[in-house]
Amino acid sequence: MRTTLTIDDDVAVQLETLRGRDQRTLKAVVNDALRRGLQEMGRDPKPGPEPFKTKVFDTGRLLVPSIDKIGEVLDWLDDEESK
| pLDDT of 77 above 90 | no
The predicted structure's pLDDT at residue 30: 95
Q: Give the per-residue pLDDT at 81.
A: 80
> What pLDDT shows up at residue 83?
73
Question: Residue 14 pLDDT > 80, yes or no?
Answer: yes
Residue at 54 is within a domain: no
Domain assignment of residue 33, yes or no: yes
Q: Which long-range contacts (CB under 8 A, 24 or more apart) does 13-16 make?
A: none
DSSP helix/strand/coil, 56: coil
Does residue 15 belong to any structural domain of this protein?
A: yes
Q: Into how many domains does the chain fold? A: 1
Domain that holds residue 17: 9-42
In a domain? residue 17:
yes
* pLDDT at residue 35, as a whole number: 95
pLDDT tens-place string over residues 18-72: 999 989 999 999 999 999 999 988 888 878 888 999 999 888 887 776 778 888 8
| 75 within a domain of the structure (yes/no) | no
